[in-house]
Structure 1
C-alpha cells in the first residue's frame, strides 16, 4: 500500500501510467474486448488487467493519477453502439461522470465506431481490461501533462 494512491491501482498499472508520455493512449476495455489479440501491437505488448472492477471503478482509480490531455479534442473516446451511434449506454454515462468529476467540469468524450476503436487500440500505449460485463464498456484515455508549479 502507498499513501495517496488508490489501492485498486496495481503495480503493472502504476508502472504503465507513469511510463506513458503526453498524448499516449490507454484503452480501458470490457471483458468482451479482444485484448489478448490486439495487445501485442501496443507499446506494452500485453494486456493489463483490473479484472475485479467495473469500467467506472477502473476509470476513477486511473483518473486519480492520470491527467487527461487538454490540447486535443480527442482526450477521451467511447465505442459507439453498433447500429445506434447516438446511444449512450449507462456504462458510458457512468464513465463520462468519472471524467467530468476528475476534470472538475463537463468534458464530453468523442465517439468511435467499433472497428475504428479496434484500429486505435493497436496504436495505444496499453490495453487495460476490466471486469466490466456490460456491453460497450470500451474507452480511450489520452494522457496529458502536469504543469510545473508557479
Structure 2
C-alpha cells in the first residue's frame, strides 16, 4: 500500500490567524500518519514493525510500542470525531487488541514485568481504551 501525499484543506486565517490550521487540518494529519503505518503492521494488526535496528527490548516489544503509541493517536482521533472515522481504523485497532492479548495468536505482546518496556506501552493502551471506549472497548467481546 502506498500512502498518498498529505492533503490538507485550505488555511483558515479567520478561525486560526497564526497558523491557518483548524481541526480539519489536525484530523487530516492524524489520518495520514495512521495510514502511513499500515504497511508496517503484522497480519493480525497487533504490532507495527518499523524499519531500523531493534531496541534492547527486542522486536516484539518494539512492535508493541508501534501499536501502543499509534493507538494513542487513533483513540484521540476516534473520540474527537465521536466515532465518525473510517471504520477500518477502529477495526484494525480492535483486531490488534485481540491478537496482542491472545497468547495463541503468534502476535502476542510480551508479558508485563516490573520496569519493563511493555509496562510503559500498557499505559498508552489503557488511555487509548478509555478514550475510545464507546466505539472500541464497549464493542470488544
Name the TM tier (shorter chain): 0.3 to 0.5
**Per chain length, whose mean CA-contact separation is higher, i.e. which structure has more relative contact order (CA < 8 Å, sep 6+)?**
1
Higher-Rg structure is 2
The normalised TM-score by structure 1 is 0.31
The normalised TM-score by structure 2 is 0.32
Larger helix proportion of the pair: 2
Larger strand proportion of the pair: 1
